[in-house]
């Protein structure tokens, strides 16, 4: 097997294994999908695969979990997270990965809560209604903050993905990027 094939197979296995986390019980919004998008953008040689793999994994798990009306906003936010990863993680470092994690969490929060507000019969279609929607998204629900869980999940899964892949690269040099 060629080094690029080994690297692609390893990356795809990491992505799909991590995506399975969506199917086990977990805290609301504490999922690996944004981390997968950043990881794919930073590590896949064929950049489009870095987006296709997590989106395909998400689509498959959504088929089992169930689809909902705001899914377009969710997928758009992960696409933008991938773009962020292309830009911010050209040379991944702990600081860049942490910063991209925080920005991706904020993007997800803003985009998905905007989608909840837009056209909603629950929130007034005004600037004040949008602020109420964002405030509700920050609030704790049954002891859980959806935003805080998303932020912690993104930081955790990025640490696991990038950290474990870095350790694998130290042990198996064939996994190192051809870019250096």
DSSP state letter for 178: T
Angle among Cα 135, 67, 64 to the nearest 5 degrees reads 125
pLDDT digits (tens, 9 = 90+) for 118-134: 989 999 999 999 999 99
Residue 158, number of CB atoms within 10 A of its CB: 26
CA 52 to chain centre: 12
Using an 8 Å Cβ cutoff, are 38 and 158 in contact?
Answer: yes
* Element (DSSP H or E) covering residue 154: helix 146-171
- Looking at residue 66, its pLDDT comes to 86
For the chain, the domains span: 3-173
- Looking at residue 99, its pLDDT comes to 97
Residue 108, number of CB atoms within 10 A of its CB: 26
Q: Please name the residues in contact with 158: beta carbons below 8 A apart, sequence gap of 6 or more.
A: 35, 38, 39, 97, 98, 100, 101
- Looking at residue 180, its pLDDT comes to 44
- In order along its 180 residues, the chain shows pLDDT tens digits of 788 788 778 877 877 787 788 888 888 888 888 999 999 999 888 899 889 877 887 888 888 888 888 889 999 999 999 999 999 998 899 999 999 999 999 999 999 999 999 989 999 999 999 999 999 888 766 667 888 889 999 999 999 999 998 998 898 888 876 554
pLDDT digits (tens, 9 = 90+) for 138-149: 876 666 788 888
Of 130, 108, 109, 134, residue with least CA distance to 119: 130
Q: Within 20-145, where are the H helices? A: 33-43, 47-65, 71-88, 94-117, 127-138
What does the alpha-carbon distance between residue 163 and residue 94 come to, in Å, rounded to a whole number? 9
Alpha-carbon distances of 19 from 55, 56, 119, 175, rounded to whole Å? 10, 10, 31, 21
Span between the terminal Cα atoms of the chain, in Å: 20
């Amino acid at each position: 097997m060629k080094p690029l094939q080994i690297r692609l197979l390893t990356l795809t296995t990491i992505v799909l294994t991590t995506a399975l986390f969506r199917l086990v019980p977990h805290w609301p919004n504490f999922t690996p999908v944004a981390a997968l998008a950043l990881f794919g953008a930073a590590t896949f040689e064929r950049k489009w695969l870095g987006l296709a793999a997590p989106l395909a994994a998400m689509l498959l798990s959504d088929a089992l979990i169930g689809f909902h009306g705001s899914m377009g906003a969710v997928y758009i936010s992960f696409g933008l997270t991938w773009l962020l990863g292309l830009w911010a993680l050209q040379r991944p470092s702990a600081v860049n990965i942490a910063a991209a994690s925080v920005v991706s969490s904020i993007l997800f929060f803003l985009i998905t809560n905007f989608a909840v507000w837009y056209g909603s019969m629950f929130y007034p279609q005004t600037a004040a209604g949008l602020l109420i929607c964002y405030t509700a998204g920050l609030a704790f629900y049954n002891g859980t903050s959806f935003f805080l869980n998303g932020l912690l999940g993104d930081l955790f899964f990025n640490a696991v993905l990038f950290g474990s892949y870095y350790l694998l690269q130290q042990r198996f040099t064939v996994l190192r990027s051809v870019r250096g």
